[in-house]
Structure 1
Amino acid sequence: MSATFEMDDNGLCIIRCDPPVNGSDSFVFQPEVIASWKALLGLASTREAIAAIMQGKEDTSRYDHATGRGVWTGAFEALESALNDSATDVSMLAADGEVLNDPLTAARNKAREGMNLPTMSNETDANLIATLAADDVDSEPSSGIDISVTKDIEGLDAFLSDESSQTALDECEERFYESLMPRQNQQN
């Protein structure tokens, strides 16, 4: 596969592929999309988010025209709920070490299924959170998305290692989470 990555003057990420990947010869998205996919699907890295964007294909039959609910709705709701509950530190590990069911992981998995992406177990999600929290991560963690589609994209490694790109992506992530955080009532 021959593929290139670039960020255009408007701040759009553009990936051109030959031959096409998942039926598309190009992928065009804003950096904010990377942040939202990482959060809503429980992805481990920017590379994994880009791989998911390239491989995901929405099952439009899951869209409910009557309610407006689609593949992403449950993941948004679960993440909002988790952020509302963030004041309490909840462990997903039982006393015997078993990983408990996590509603956020379940909602993420429904979104992953709706995007035809692999799901992850509660244990994988818990291990991923622990790995990402550690400062001494040697290898790139994975939530199960096949990142091999991104390995030979010319220009992607430079983007991923560029400090200004990382700062911009971090800012996108902060804005995304801020948009889901509960708002304090400002009435006097």
Structure 2
Amino acid sequence: MSSTFEMDDNGLCIIRCDPPVNGSDSFVFTPEVLASWKALLGLASTREAVAAIMQGREDTSRYDPKTGRGVWTGAFEALESALADSATDVSMLAADGEVLDDPLTAARNKTREGMSLPVMSNETDARMRAALAADASGVEASSGIDVACTKDVEGLDDFLSDESSQAMLDECEERFYESLMPRQSQQN
């Protein structure tokens, strides 16, 4: 029994799980999904994004068919707003009553809750950002996602450490952020 990771000829990342993880025996996603989950959930690493995909379960009862708003909407809006350097309309009160200082963290936490993933405190977010900024070699920053389910996935470490994979993931991340950046109006 083992789990395996591969990237197929169509650029899809495929994880086959034996035994199943979170009730699923496989996960299929694009590298762009890794970049978007990382940004929208405030994840510290691509490994955390893979683990979040494997563990997350969307609460579909949070989808509003009248407005089209779902679990991910607030995180998209908050990230767009942060990139546009403007305030966002997000409640600053977490479910446990903790007052959240950062609207982006608050929005990310609402999405995390909606995906049945652990939320992060402002302290965790601050420590993670400091660790990422310091680029502490050998220390893997964490936003609170349990990555244990990824540790024994054959081929995943090779993918995550491969320079060409890293370059591709960096490009996906750049394109994702670019797609959320405010557009300058065209003047003729």
Same-fold call, TM cutoff 0.5: yes
Partner in structure 1 of residue 17 of structure 2: 17
State the secondary structure of the residue aligned to 1:27: strand
CA-based RMSD: 1.4
Which AA in structure 2 matches 1:138? G
What is the rounded CA distance, in whole Å, between the counterparts of 1:135 and 1:144 in structure 2?
Answer: 18
Using the alignment, how far apart are the partners of 2:77 and 2:167 within structure 1? 27
Structure 1 unaligned regions, length at least 5: 87-98
Amino acid at match of 1:41: L
Moved more, 6-15 or 127-136: 127-136
User: Following TM superposition, by how much is the alpha carbon of 1:129 offset from its aligned partner in structure 2, in angstroms?
Assistant: 1.1
Residue 43 of structure 1, CA deviation: 0.3
For each residue in 1:48-83, what CA deviation from the matched residue of structure 2 results, as whole angstroms up to 9, or x when unmatched?
A: 000000000000000001000000000000000000
Residue-pair matches, total: 176
Counterpart Cα distance in 1 of 2:173 and 2:77? 17
Q: Does 1:172 align with 2:172?
A: yes
Quote the Cα distance in structure 2 between the aligned partners of 1:179 and 1:133.
Answer: 24
Equivalent residue number for residue 64 of structure 1: 64
**1:128 Cα deviation after fit:** 1.0
- Aligned 8 A contact 2:100 2:106 in 1: no
Name structure 2 gaps, 5 residues minimum: 87-98
Q: Which amino acid in structure 2 is aligned with residue 22 of structure 1?
A: N
1:28-177 mapped onto 2 (5 Å cutoff): 28-85=28-85, 101-177=101-177
> Which residue identity lines up with residue 68 of structure 2 in the other structure?
G
Taking the aligned partners of 2:81 and 2:17, their CA distance within structure 1 comes to: 38
Q: Where do 4+ consecutive residues of structure 1 move more than 4 Å?
A: none
Report the Cα distance in structure 2 between the residues aligned to 1:132 and 1:68, rounded to whole angstroms. Answer: 34
- Identity among equivalent positions (%) equals 84
Q: Aligned AA for 1:101?
A: D
